[in-house]
Amino acid sequence: MNTIAKQIAACAVILSTSAVWAADDGLVVLDWSAYDDENFFLGYIEKHGDMPVFSMFGEEEEAFQKLRAGFKADLTHPCSQSVPKWREAGVIEPFDPSRIERWDDLNEIMREAFKYEDGYYLVPADWGTTTLTYRADLVEEAEMESLQVFLDPKYAGRTSIGDNVDDAYALAYLATGLDDWTKATDDDFRKASDWLRKAHQNVRAYWVDGAELAQLMGSGEVLFSWAWNETAVTMSADGFDVVSNREPVEGSSDWFCGYANVTNQANDEAKAYDFINAWMEPRSAKYLVNDWGYGHGNSAAMAELGEDVINAGLGEIDAPVLSQVPMDHALRENMIAEFEMIKAGF
């Protein structure tokens, strides 16, 4: 499942697989677009004979508001910077580690990052980078060495940024000289917002998922973007000359996400753990790394893949890195509000 066509199909929630698997209404997963790919949880399908029901989102604030409004789900897929807010709001609750078969194989740093006095709130699933990604056959590579290229007027209408407040501000903070947003001041926030307003003038579209961005770049409408690992991996596999530069002068951003246990689960809790256990299998890790270009939360399975595989797109870099870790709550709320204004042209 390594083609753009299949990624597009994956975004149609379960339609691409409904001819093979029926939807299992005993488990509802609120997840990122395209994460209803059965290759992530084959063990679940083998045990239950069908797929969970998926409800997809394109940005975490969308998912958060959906849960707060009463949407009934069993599991959801936030990234690290959102976990404290979701926990404080009471929409997620701790896991029981004894029911997660490969608990000891999980990335210890990521696993322990969200251990609170009442338990563990996140099972690390995927991690990666957001980088300057471009069509090497359509642009001068020398111009792709700085994030300031997003402001170059000659690229008006030919750039893209994710419709994701964290990725957008990671780009803007890096571009304005800050690589640790936990230290951001009001002045840093203003500078980043001003930079994003300038970058907005060149944006063709704010992409929601990898499939949408692949369409934009594949058609040549968009020449470069601030993008996740998967874009370069999947588009290269489909024959496009797409390069991900993790080392522009100002740097790139990294992130990690995982599965969280929704409070007052809608259905059978045992199936939620079956899903988690399937996701943590080595074959799921292999698929995520090889076909999507992301790292996996099972560190033991990652080690089995070898350093050459991991370092190909996930190794250390010689450039600043802004880690998308939890930040000041008030600052992030300001970022959310400001980003909506910027996208609207204000």
The pLDDT tens digits of the residues spanning 329-342 come to 899 999 999 999 99
Bigger pLDDT: 314 or 76?
76
Topology given in CATH for the domain delimited by 20-127+255-311: D-Maltodextrin-Binding Protein; domain 2 (3.40.190)
What's the farthest any 2 CA atoms get from each other in the chain? 56
Cα distances (angstroms) measured from residue 290 to each of 40, 45, 303: 12, 21, 14
Topology given in CATH for the domain delimited by 129-254+317-343: D-Maltodextrin-Binding Protein; domain 2 (3.40.190)
Q: What is the DSSP letter of 34?
A: T
What are the pLDDT digits (tens) for 168-183?
999 999 999 999 999 9
Confidence of residue 3 (pLDDT cuts 50, 70, 90): very low
- Using the predicted structure, report yes or no on whether residue 5 has a pLDDT greater than 70: no
- Give kind and range of the element (H or E) at residue 284: helix 282-287
The pTM (predicted TM-score) of the whole model is 0.87
φ, ψ for residue 54 (rounded to 5)?
-110, 140
Residue 13's Cβ-side half-sphere holds a number of Cα atoms within 13 Å equal to 11
Mean pLDDT of 8-23: 35
The whole-angstrom separation of Cα 328 and Cα 116 is: 18
Q: What is the pLDDT of residue 267?
A: 87
Mean pLDDT of 83-94: 96
**Closest to 191 measured CA to CA, from 168, 167, 175:** 175
The whole-angstrom separation of Cα 271 and Cα 50 is: 12
Q: What is the pLDDT of residue 74?
A: 96
CA angle 313, 213, 139 (to 5 degrees): 75
Domain coordinates in residue numbering, the chain: 20-127+255-311, 129-254+317-343
Confidence of residue 25 (pLDDT cuts 50, 70, 90): confident
Q: What is the pLDDT of residue 139?
A: 97
What are the pLDDT digits (tens) for 287-314?
999 999 999 999 999 999 887 666 656 7
Tokens at residue 176, please?
């304005």
Q: Specify which of 156-160, 229-233, 308-312 reaches the highest per-range mean pLDDT.
A: 156-160
- Using the predicted structure, report yes or no on whether residue 10 has a pLDDT greater than 50: no
Mean of per-residue pLDDT scores for the chain: 90
The whole-angstrom separation of Cα 331 and Cα 314 is: 29
Tokens at residue 161, please?
């940024």
- Using the predicted structure, report yes or no on whether residue 21 has a pLDDT greater than 80: no
The whole-angstrom separation of Cα 198 and Cα 216 is: 21
Q: What is the pLDDT of residue 309?
A: 64
Tokens at residue 184, please?
């951001």
**Is the distance from CB of 247 to CB of 182 less than 8 angstroms?**
no
**Is the distance from CB of 164 to CB of 210 less than 8 angstroms?**
no
Q: Do domains 20-127+255-311 and 129-254+317-343 have the same CATH topology?
A: yes
Residue 28 pairs with which residues in a beta bridge?
53
